[in-house]
Every structure is written in structure tokens, then in C-alpha cells.
A and B are shown apart, each in its own frame.
Chain A
Amino acid sequence: MATTSSTPAPKINRIGLSVMEYKGGKTTLCAGCGHNAISERIIDAMYEMGVQPERVAKLSGIGCSSKSPAYFMSRSHSFNSVHGRMPSLATGAMLANRNLLTLGVSGDGDSASIGIGQFVHLMRRNLPMVYIIEDNGVYGLTKGQFSATADVGSKLKTGVVNDLPPIDTCSLAIELGATFVGRSFSGDKRQLHSMLKAAIAHRGTVMLDVISPCVTFNDHEGSTKSYKYMKDHEEPLQDINFVPYFEEIDVEYDAGTTVEVTMHDGSRLRLRKIEESYDATNRIGAIQRLLEAHDKQEVLTGVLYVNSTAPTFIDLLNITEEPLATLPESVTRPSREVLEQCMEELR
């Protein structure tokens, strides 16, 4: 550390970058918007994990949430695309370059309504990427209509009450084949931070539904996605501790109260149980517990499901290690002899 200067040198991470190198443009979202807190957590997690920003591809659809990739990690390529169809774009990008760390940011309207078709197919492919739904239960950019994640009985500012059951993106993701599924709250700094770091280490589809209150259109009495409602109804399943592969493990854990999951890169995800009977590696149990939570009006948070050994879409396609995008002509264009052979077969 600098000793001669009066201002301390900035802290740097394991690849020598300061947290400033992970910042984005100035947010244009409303003050107090949960999405801004999520952007901050992404910045911190990427910084602490020492992810090379150039390796990251940020993708989004349309909506307030989908604007947010502009507000973090300016050194990463980004694609703000069309409404509800970011999953296909992300899939294409990963096919072209399997070395990218792809981060998709979506919203509840973008994923659960217009984009539900692409969402479910992304989940069932287990494409390696981190998919975050910034979930506030309303359409913000079009000024406050209900989305498909709004709970039954929740009330708009205008007094309109939602009668339809919500789509639970987490139970859907678990059912369809996503291999790391979590729910968190933009206001739960510690939990979200640990969960994001584990998400970065995971190999496969990570689906995080982050309740992110809309301060302008859905933070009032009667909303089930408000700051107050979350404070009253959040039920964390575990205390999450993530130990990246490059850090020493200094504390042992009690196998009776904690489940440890070894991730693909050797990192460890330690889930100290708050709800004793919950097992995040049990797919069916996870879905059942989520259904119960709806009946009890609980918002379960934590790592709902994790499977760190399932093959990814890239594995199944048996794609060569080098990115397809930059394969040379000598590899992508077969020889004259091959063409001659093909012609001979057609004579």
C-alpha cells in the first residue's frame, strides 16, 4: 500500500482493477429504484470475483430493468435489444463465443409476459449465463400496468386489483432445467451480493428473481412488491456464504446446519440453513415449498435450487474450445477435395 501519499491508493482486486473499472454510466432510473441497488451489487460482485470486464457480455430486453446494463460495467460489451427476446440473443452470443460471461438483465414484464416463450426455452437449455429478473410486478416505462408476476389481490395506485395468479419465474425455471435458481430482494444487500458471486462461478443457467420495488408505480400500501411488504414477508431460507476458488477457507462449517456445494470452478457455496428442512439440491422439494409459500403469502428468498454438475447447452452441442466467432478460414472452409467428393456423390 502507498505510504508516501496522503490519499490512500485505490483498492484493487485480484486482476489489478479498482472498483471504478466496473462502473457504468449515470443512472436515469428513478431515485430509490431497486434496479439501481442491483446494479451496485453486480458491480461489487464482478469486482470481488476479479472478472475481466471485457469477458462480460451484458444483454437486455426492453423496460426499466433492461436499461440498467448501461449503468454498470462500461468496459463490457452490451446489447439492449427487443422486448422479451434477450434469451435468443444471449444464446446466439454464447454459441459464437463460449468464453463470454453472459449476463442478461430482464424485468417481470420482459420475461414473464412477452418473453415467456424465450424464457422457458432458455431455462430448458441450461445455457451458461446469469439471467436476472428485476421484478417489481409492474410495467414502469409505460406507467404502471400490472405484470404477470403481480400477486393475486395486489393493488395498483389507481385502485385496480389483480385477480390473476402470478407466474412464479423461479418454480418455472427449476421445473424446466435451470441449474441455479434463486430469489432475492434488492434491499437485502448481503444476500444478493453472495448470491451474485455464486452465480458468476456457476456453470449453467443461473436464474435470479430479484424483487426490486418500483418507487414510482408499485411501492404503496396494497402492493406485494413494495419495500415495506418485502420487509414484512421476506423469508430467507439460508444464510449464504460464498467462498471463491481463489480464496483460502478459514472457517470450518457444521455439516449439521450447513450445506456446502462445490461449484464447477472449485468455489464453494455454503448455505447455512435457516429453514432446517429445506434442501436446495432437491428439485421437487423446492417447487413444492415455493407453491406453499404462495399460499402462506411468504416471499421465500435464498438459493432455491442448485445443481453444479448438469451438462450445459455448450457441452451438449460439443462445440470446439476456441470461439466459433474467430475460427480461421482454414478451419471453417473445407478443402477443394471435400467439394470434389461432394460433387462425385451427386453425379
Chain B
Amino acid sequence: MATTDVTLQGAPGRLERKPVVNDMSIQVATVNGSGSQSSNTVLLRSIFQMGVPVSGKNLFPSNIAGLPTWYTIRANKDGYIARKKEIDFLIAMNAETAHEDVLSLAAGAAVLYDEPLSLNSLRNDLTFYAVPYDKLVAAVCPEAKLRKLVKNMIYVGVVARLLDLDMAEVEKALRKQFAKKLKAANLNMAAAQAGFDYAAANLKKQDPFRIVRMDKNLGKIIIDGNSAAALGCMFAGVTVVTWYPITPSSSLVETLIDYMKEHRIGPDGKATFAIVQAEDELAAIGMVIGAGWAGARSMTATAGPGISLMAEFAGLAYYTEVPGVIWDIQRVGPSTGLPTRTSQGDILSTAFLSHGDTKNILLIPNSVSECFEMATDAFNLAEQFQTIVFVMSDLDLGMNNWMSDPFKYPETPINRGKVLSKEDLERLGTFSRYKDVDGDGIGWRTLPGTDHPAAAYFARGSGHNEKSQYSERPDDFERNMERINRKFETARSFVPRPEVVSAGKSKIGIIAYGTSHWALVESRDQLKKEYNFEADYLRLRAYPFTREVHEFVEQHERVYVVEQNRDAQMLSLLKLDVRPELVTRLRSISHIHGLPLDARSVTDEIMTMEGK
């Protein structure tokens, strides 16, 4: 196979292209419901197993079968795993989108297509490879009804040949994918091999893209953010889980059910947890609050529409001071919006969810490992501060596969917060539920069922005094609300601190959070390499903002706040928090197209705003 001195097909006279090794974006265009997910995972894992940093992003429709779907695999030797705007290698399986997919490619890209689509006539500045999938699949799969599912595995073999992937790694990945189904594994392996053999015999390598073995993934795992969150919740000691199915959060609880059934059944065969599919999000959050009030570590997972429905109950929990954790796997709103696309659009709604004065703690993971770690943080903070804690993941993080170092066992003990036991009550004689005895705004609570005559208090969403008695007195109400606000101020010192990636090197600062981080890592390198432009960078990990955030804004003349929503939601929160004279330093870079943020867009926008 030609691996060097590759020339562009149909472009005589052009300069020979140097090989492009371990730096490419592969896009697979298929129809959803066609089983391509397995093929794509095998392809991703094969590259991963060859030690090359890789990420996979599924761009799918809100539909079960029949609509176009695109899966993008990015392999990058430098570890950039954000979405790359340009596609280098297109695998065109979907007749419906093939023309547009091909026309949108940049010159020099390669296209692998189903022979009958005859895409090679569309352009002359691309490399085309035709594969007769139907013919190949018929040979390896006698059962006609299975062919549709097996067909997609053929392109894995073809790509393996063209990109120089080790077929042994493909087989390993494939056998892992079909671990519980030997027959399916064999059938699919035959298909992959058929693709490989066909390519070896019939396709002449004409593109520059290659995968060469590296050692960057030693010991690493591949997992999606929702599964990582599920694991995190199990190790955080969650006991009550309620949910109502909603994309993109459903897989979090579904994975959690699997893990809990495996690892949280006691020696007596009984569950040390309860997982309930509720009738709607109202009931899901109601159960979380009922369980939290009665002392369980309770959680639910949802997305924007669910958050909207939970608003009233969130206020009840805020005001009666009941712990609970809500995972918000953000998707594009408003309304139904783009239910299968990613965003960071729920920042403001969650921060202030409910009527009256409410402020909620938000934790914002940027990676699968933070999904795991922040689960423990979230439950501990919820019980410490007796309030709802939101974990703000998103579809890109939650539903896509990410590489990661293995998760570290949580060393922080489970913190159940200020709970008075029967013995405490015997010593104290009495207690006042909402009295700030420690100066941190946090009162002591008791759990229903505590066997002491003084244990009970009357939790109520209506006005109450320190003893939790009904009160409409203005002074009682104001004092109580001020105390609850003190809890929020106290929380500033306990929430996860931001990651100050770079400080003191530039007058320009960038603030980003969550999955935007991965575009920022790459964008800052682009800015430096291409424009010799250095910018400091702080990655937010929580709301309320900690001291470091204020310092960062103070230290920079201009601060770009990068986020994936229309209305600069995090910037709005920062405006409310920083000193008034610093507000004008904040500049917004916001995108809301439903696609994961890419580095190039950020780089271009910063340079434009900097007048360069």
C-alpha cells in the first residue's frame, strides 16, 4: 500500500501531499437505526487501542430509524479532542445526504462511498474510494435480514486497510463490542475482514491520512459522561434515584440501574437502593425531596424541559432546606428545541430555578472524570448545605465517548451534613430547625423516624420561624431569607474551585466551562501558534463563584466568556457577581447551533474582537 508520495487524484500538477499521521477527522454518514453505532464504536476503539488520542461524537436526529445521522471520530496526536470543523475522511453510507456531505468537504478530503451512489463524479478535488457493500455483505452474511446490520461493519475493514489500522486491534475492539454475542461477533468480524480484503485487492491508497501506533492511551478507559456520572453516583452512596425518561439524560439512570444491580445488592439479596421511574418530572423531583427530607441520598437526572417542570418543587426544597441532586444533561432549548443536540443553555434557569428569591448551587463537569468526581461533591454539598445541587453536564459530554485516565476512588468520606441523632437530642433536650447556631447559615435537622419526643419539626413551604412554626411576621421572613442567603455565601468556600489553567501571562483572559473547555485547549494553542497571541484561561467548575474567579477578572483588561448558549448566560451571572466597575471587561463569545464547540470558531472570534 502506498504510504508516502501520495498525490491527489484528479488534480494533476498539484504538489505532492505529505502524509498526515494521527491527525484527522473521520465522519460516518449513515441512517439511524442501521446499526452503525456498533461499527463506529469499533472504529473508535481500534484507534484508541493503537494508542492515538481519539474522541467520538454522535450527531443524531430525534428519531428511532430512518433519518440521517453523522458520527465523527477525531484522532489527534496532540490530544485535541474537541469537534473539528473540517472533515478529512468521509464515509458516505446515506444516499439521502451523500451529495450535500460531499459538497461540504474541504479540498483534499477522502470519501469512501457505496458504489451505486457514484459520488466520484461530484468533485475532482477529493479522493474517492468506491465499495460495493451489497455484494460484499451478501457473500459473508447468508441471512438476508441481518445484512442491513452487518453491512456497516464492512467500512470498518476498508478504513482499517486505508488508514493502516492493525486488524488485530479491530478484532479485539469488535469482540469487546459483541462480548455477549459470539455469533454476532463472528459475523461482524467476517464483514470487517471482507472489507479489509476488498480494499487490499482493489483500492489504491491515494489520500495522505494514516494512523501510526503511539503510546498515549496506556491504562486509559473509554466511557461516556452519563455512564461516568452513574458510576460516580453509585460510589457517592446514592440510595434513592427517581427519573422520567428524557434525552439526553435517560442513559445516565439506565446505566446506573445496571451498575447498582451488580454492585449494590446486599448479602441478603436485597437492594440497598431504590430506583423509581416516575410519572413525570414533577413526581421525580417530588420523590427526590421526600427522600431527601427523610434522610436518603436522593437524585434525579433530566434535561431542560424537566428542569422547567421541576421549578416549583425546587423552590420548596430551597426554602424547606432539603438536600437532593439533579443532573441536568443539557440539550438545546427553548421548548422542545433540538432534543438530540448539545448546549449550555440551562445555566440561568437552574441558578435561579423557582419563584421568589432562590439561588442554587451548580457544579459543572468538563470531562468524564469530573462527572465521576462531582457526583460525590454534589451529594456531599447537598447534604452539607441542605439544598438542591445541580450538576450541569450536557449532551456532548453525557452521550459521547471520551477517553480518560481511570477514575480515582473517592477519598472524601460521605458527608451527611448536620443531622441530630436521638443521642444528640437527649443531650440537647431541644432544637430549632432553622436556627443558625454555627454562624454558617446552616441549621441542624432531624430525620423522620428519630426516636425522641423532641425530634419532630414541621417542614413547610409557607413562612416559618426558626422553630419551623408557621409565621407571617415580616421580621421572621426576612431573617430566615437572609440566613438562607448566608448558606449560599458559605458555599463559595466549599464548591469545587475553578481550574486556573493560565494566569499572569496576559492582559487578556478567557473564562469557559464544561465541554467548551476542549475547544479552548486547542484554540489557545492556535492563538499562540498562528497569531502569537497569549491569553490566560480560567475554567469555571461551580456556581456560586469562588474568590479565584473574581481575582481572575480583576487581573485582566478584557475577559472573554465562552459558552454554548445565545444569551451569554454565565456572563450574566458573572455580571451580577463581580464589582460593578469590572462588568465592562466581560465580553461574550456564545454559540447555539447544537454542535459541540470547535476551536477554530473561538479563535476566529477572539481575533476579530481583538481587531486582528
Contacts and interface: CB of A to CB of B under 8 A. Distances in A.
Interface of A: 21, 52-55, 57, 59, 69-70, 74-82, 85, 87-97, 99-100, 117-118, 121, 317-321, 323-327, 329, 331-334, 336, 338-339, 342-343, 346-347
Nearest to B218: A347
B448 A97 contact: yes
B16 interface: no
Given A89-B289, A91-B276, A332-B239, A96 B298 contact: yes
Contacts of A117: 279-280, 282-283
Given A75-B453, A318-B271, A334-B264, A343 B460 contact: no
A126 B406 CA distance: 43
B234 A88 contact: no
B279 A334 contact: no
Contacts, number: 223
Contacts of B95: none
A100 B407 contact: no
Q: Size band of the B side of the interface?
A: 35 or more
A272 to B, nearest CB: 37
Interface string B419-458: 0000000000000000000000000001111111101111
A333 B235 contact: yes
15 contacts: A21-B453, A77-B449, A78-B456, A80-B458, A91-B290, A92-B292, A96-B294, A97-B449, A118-B283, A319-B274, A324-B274, A325-B294, A326-B447, A332-B237, A332-B239
Contact of A346 (B223, B284, B409): B223
Contact of A88 (B222, B263, B278): B278
A82 to B, nearest CB: 5
A331 B271 CA distance: 10
Contacts of A100: 294, 448-449
Contacts of A99: 449
B446 to A, nearest CB: 8
Interface stretch (B146-154, B312-320, B483-491, B593-601): B312-320
Contacts of A93: 290-291, 293-294, 448
Given A339-B409, A347-B221, 12 more contacts: A81-B316, A89-B290, A92-B289, A96-B292, A100-B448, A317-B274, A319-B273, A323-B294, A332-B239, A332-B272, A338-B263, A342-B231
Contacts of A329: 237, 413-414
A284 B59 CA distance: 51
B475 interface: no
A334 B451 contact: no
B562 interface: no
A92 B316 CA distance: 15
Given A55-B449, A324-B272, A333-B235, A343 B266 contact: no
Contact of A92 (B231, B259, B290, B452): B290
A334 B456 contact: no
B407 A320 contact: no
Nearest to A95: B274
A76 B240 CA distance: 23
A99 B295 CA distance: 13
Interface in B281-337: 282-298, 312-313, 316, 320
A76 B457 CA distance: 8
A317 B271 contact: yes
B288 to A, nearest CB: 6
Contacts of A319: 270-271, 273-274
A74 B467 CA distance: 13
A320 B266 contact: yes
B116 interface: no
B462 interface: yes
B605 to A, nearest CB: 36
A77 B316 contact: no
A342 B288 CA distance: 27
B268 interface: yes
A74 B409 contact: no
Nearest to B288: A92
Contacts of B178: none
A22 B275 CA distance: 34
B410 interface: yes
Contacts of A96: 239-240, 290-296, 298
Contacts of A97: 294-296, 447-449
A319 B237 CA distance: 15
Contacts of A94: 290, 294
Nearest to A28: B470
Given A89-B289, A96-B290, A80 B270 contact: no
Q: Quick one: which of A59, A81, A327 has the most chain B CB within 10 A?
A: A81
B461 interface: yes
Q: Quick one: which of B274, B283, B292 has the most chain A CB within 10 A?
A: B274
B410 A95 contact: no
A75 B297 CA distance: 25
A17 B458 CA distance: 21
A179 to B, nearest CB: 19
Nearest to A343: B406
B459 interface: yes
Which 7 A/B pairs are nearest by Cβ-Cβ distance?
Answer: A92-B290, A88-B286, A325-B295, A332-B237, A96-B296, A96-B294, A92-B291
B13 interface: no
Contacts of A69: 458
Given A332-B237, A343-B407, A52 B451 contact: yes
Interface in B220-250: 220-223, 231, 234-240, 242
Nearest to A320: B270
Interface string B457-481: 1111110000000100000000000
Interface in B32-63: none
A85 B296 contact: no
A60 B223 CA distance: 43
